[in-house]
Amino acid sequence: MAMFKDVNAFSGFSVKEIAEAIKFYRDTLGLEISQTMGQLVLHIAGGGTVFVYAKPNHVPATFTVLNFPVINLQESMNELRKRGIEFIIYKEEGFETDDQGVFHGGGPKIAWFKDPAGNILSVLEKADADKN
């Protein structure tokens, strides 16, 4: 049964305040946004959307809620730093980033940062085959 085969599914996550999220996702990250019923919709390249909603008792996700693949991780991190983004430095055994916040432990090089509500986002370098 292919019940959801043709459904335009989307992901979502909560934040403390929509106004703060709009400023961050539109102005800091440069995403196209819209609003529906007082909530926020992030328009992702390729036609996807992510629904961001305010939740009075918001608790930040402890996992990555949104990943941004880029061609050059270092250049993207430098630009994000100019926009006020601080990268998370992980020092957990088996899960350690370098001093810049980049994880080199297998798979793509990746760095994590948080939105104003404390949700974890990432920027990761595309594999060579994906850079076209």
> Mean pLDDT for each consecutive 10-residue tract of the chain (132 residues)?
81 96 97 95 93 96 95 97 96 90 92 98 80 51
Looking at residue 6, its pLDDT comes to 84
Residues 6+ apart with CB under 8 A from 99: 89
pTM of structure:
0.90
The domains of the chain, with CATH numbers, are 11-130 (3.10.180.10)
Nearest to 11 by CA among 69, 51, 68: 51
Q: How many helices (H) and strands (E) does the chain have?
A: 2, 10
